[in-house]
C-alpha cells in the first residue's frame, strides 16, 4: 500500500437505521456513573451494590465443585426454558413459607429479575399502551418499558409508598394495561408500601382488570419492623405477576431471578424467553439448587441484617451531622437505598462533577422520573460501604452541597 493511500482520510461511518424504539431507550445514568465510581480513589454511593464481603463465597464455591463432581455433564448441557425443576421447587416452597402459595410450575427462572421486566414488557405491552409507575420509579424498569414505546402515567408516592388515592383518581379517566411497583424498600426512595395501600392496590387492579407487576428484589432485606404480605399473596383473581432474585441475598454474579404468576401468563413468558435466550445458565441453576439443599439461607439473611442496619443508621447519622439546613431524606426500614432532596434551587446533576472532584459519587435523581424530571434529588446506596467510609463520604458530599449554597 502506498504512503498516500495510508494517509488518505477514512470514509465516514455508515448512517445506521436503528429501530424507532431505540430513540426511547436512554443510557443508564447509573451505569455511566459507575464507570467513574470504579476509580479506587472515589467513595461511591452510586451503584445498587450489595456488600461483596458478605457473599457466601465458600458455600457457593463448594456447591459448584459438587455440581461438577456429581452432575458435570448435565450441568453443561442445554436445559428447559422454565428452569431447573429442583430450583423452581425450592423457590415455590420458600414463597409458600412467606404466604405466597404457588406451585413450581408457576415459577419461571430468569437471567436476573431484569430479564423478567423485559419479558413482561414483551408479552403485555404494545406501542401506545398506558402504563402506570410510581413517581419516581426504578430507572432500569423505565428503560425497559420505554423501549416498548408505552405511554407512562405517574402516581404520587410518599413515605407509605404509592398513593392509591391518586391512582384511584387516575383510573376514573384511563385504565392502564400494566402497573409497575416495588412495594418493599423501593428503588430509588427506600420507602415501603403500607399494608392498607397494598390491599387497596390489589382491589383496584381486580376492579379495573389491569395487571400489577410486583418487583421485590429487596423484600428479604428488612432490618426494622415486620414483614408485610406480598401483593401476590393478597390476590385471588390472577392480576399480579411477581419478580424477585438471588442477586441481593446470595450474589448478583449468579444472574438468577424468577417470575411467578397465573399459569396463562407464565406460558406466554416462557414462549417469550425461548425466543430470547432459550434458558437461563444451566450451571448456575444447578449449583444454586445444590447450595440451597444444605445452606442455611434464612440464617445467612439474618446475619446480613445487623450489618445493613448498622450501615443505614450510619448514613442517617452522617446526613444529620454533615448536610446543610434544608436537605431532606427518607428513612428506610430495609433494602439498600435512601433518597435525598437537596435544598431549594440546587440541581443534583450539576453537583456531581464537583462531588467527583471531592472523591465522592452518587446518582442524580432526575432519570428516575418517567415524565416530569425533578433535578433536586439524589439516590444514595449504603449497603456497600462500612460506617467509617459512609461518614467520610457524607462529610465530603455535605461540603459540596454547602459550597453550592
Residue-wise pLDDT tens digits, 389-398:
999 999 999 9
Average pLDDT on 221-241 reads 97
Q: Which of 246, 205, 225, 243 is nearest to 100 (CA)?
A: 243
Q: If you classify domain 57-294 with CATH, what class do you get?
A: alpha beta
pTM for this prediction: 0.93
**110: confidence class by pLDDT, cuts 50, 70, 90:** very high
Residue 5: per-residue pLDDT: 54
Which conformational region is residue 109 in: left (phi greater than 0), alpha (psi within -120 to 50 degrees), or beta? beta
Q: Which of 300, 255, 362 is nearest to 51 (CA)?
A: 300
**4: confidence class by pLDDT, cuts 50, 70, 90:** low
**31: confidence class by pLDDT, cuts 50, 70, 90:** low
3-state secondary structure of 81: coil
Residue 228: per-residue pLDDT: 98
Would you kindly state where each structural domain of the chain is located, as residue ranges? 27-55+299-404, 57-294
**9: confidence class by pLDDT, cuts 50, 70, 90:** confident
Alpha helices in 147-224 (DSSP H): 164-171, 195-208
**37: confidence class by pLDDT, cuts 50, 70, 90:** low
3-state secondary structure of 286: helix
First to last CA, the chain: 61
- Stronger pLDDT, 27 or 301, i.e. the higher one: 301
The rounded mean pLDDT for the chain is: 94
Q: Is 278 exposed, middle or buried (0-12, 13-18, 19+ CB in 10 A)?
A: exposed
Residue 133: per-residue pLDDT: 98
Cell numbers for 346, please give them: 440546587
Residue-wise pLDDT tens digits, 243-254:
999 999 999 999
Output the CA torsion sign for 288, 292, 296, 298.
Answer: positive
Residue 40: per-residue pLDDT: 84
Which conformational region is residue 131 in: left (phi greater than 0), alpha (psi within -120 to 50 degrees), or beta? beta
DSSP H or E stretch at residue 363: strand 363-364
d(CA 148, CA 194): 30
Residue 64: per-residue pLDDT: 98
Does domain 27-55+299-404 fall under CATH 3.20.20.450? My reply is no
Does residue 162 surpass a pLDDT of 80?
yes
Residue-wise pLDDT tens digits, 241-294:
999 999 999 999 999 999 999 999 999 999 999 999 999 999 999 999 999 999
Q: Which of 264, 79, 303 is nearest to 295 (CA)?
A: 303
| Number of C-beta neighbours around residue 53 at 10 A | 9
Q: Is 86 exposed, middle or buried (0-12, 13-18, 19+ CB in 10 A)?
A: middle
Amino acid at each position: 500500500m502506498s504512503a498516500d493511500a495510508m494517509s488518505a482520510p477514512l470514509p465516514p461511518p455508515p448512517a445506521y437505521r436503528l429501530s424507532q424504539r431505540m430513540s426511547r431507550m436512554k443510557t443508564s445514568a447509573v451505569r455511566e456513573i459507575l464507570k467513574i465510581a470504579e476509580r479506587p480513589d472515589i467513595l461511591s454511593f452510586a451503584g445498587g451494590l450489595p456488600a461483596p464481603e458478605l457473599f457466601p463465597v465458600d458455600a457457593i464455591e463448594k456447591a459448584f465443585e459438587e455440581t461438577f463432581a456429581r452432575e458435570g455433564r448435565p450441568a453443561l448441557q442445554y436445559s428447559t426454558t422454565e428452569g431447573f425443576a429442583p430450583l423452581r421447587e425450592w423457590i415455590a416452597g420458600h414463597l409458600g413459607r412467606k404466604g405466597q402459595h404457588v406451585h413450581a410450575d408457576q415459577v419461571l427462572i430468569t437471567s436476573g429479575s431484569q430479564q423478567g421486566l423485559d419479558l413482561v414488557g414483551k408479552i403485555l405491552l404494545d406501542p401506545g399502551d398506558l402504563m402506570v409507575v410510581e413517581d419516581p420509579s426504578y430507572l432500569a424498569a423505565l428503560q425497559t418499558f420505554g423501549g416498548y414505546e408505552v405511554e407512562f402515567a405517574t402516581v404520587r408516592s410518599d413515605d407509605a409508598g404509592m398513593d392509591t388515592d391518586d391512582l384511584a383518581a387516575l383510573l376514573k379517566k384511563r385504565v392502564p394495561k400494566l402497573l409497575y411497583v416495588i412495594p418493599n424498600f423501593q428503588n430509588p426512595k427506600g420507602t415501603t408500601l403500607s399494608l392498607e395501600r397494598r390491599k387497596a392496590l390489589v382491589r383496584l387492579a381486580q376492579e379495573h382488570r389491569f395487571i400489577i407487576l410486583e418487583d421485590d428484589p429487596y423484600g428479604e432485606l428488612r432490618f426494622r419492623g415486620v414483614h408485610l404480605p406480598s401483593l401476590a399473596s393478597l390476590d385471588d383473581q390472577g392480576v399480579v405477576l411477581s419478580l424477585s432474585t438471588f442477586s441481593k441475598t446470595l450474589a448478583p454474579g449468579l444472574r438468577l431471578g424468577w417470575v411467578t404468576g397465573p399459569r396463562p401468563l407464565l406460558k406466554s413468558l416462557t414462549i417469550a424467553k425461548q425466543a430470547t435466550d432459550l434458558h437461563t445458565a444451566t450451571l448456575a441453576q444447578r449449583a444454586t439448587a445444590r447450595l440451597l439443599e444444605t445452606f442455611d439461607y434464612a440464617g445467612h439473611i439474618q446475619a446480613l441484617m445487623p450489618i445493613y442496619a448498622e450501615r443505614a443508621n450510619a448514613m442517617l447519622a452522617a446526613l444529620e451531622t454533615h448536610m446543610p439546613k434544608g436537605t431532606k431524606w427518607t428513612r428506610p426500614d430495609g433494602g439498600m437505598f435512601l433518597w435525598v432532596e437537596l435544598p431549594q434551587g440546587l440541581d443534583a446533576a450539576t453537583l456531581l462533577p464537583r462531588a467527583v472532584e471531592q472523591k465522592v459519587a452518587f446518582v442524580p435523581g432526575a432519570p428516575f422520573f418517567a415524565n416530569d424530571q425533578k433535578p433536586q434529588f439524589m439516590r444514595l446506596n449504603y449497603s456497600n460501604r462500612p460506617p467509617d467510609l459512609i461518614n467520610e463520604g457524607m462529610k465530603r458530599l455535605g461540603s459540596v452541597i454547602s459550597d453550592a449554597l
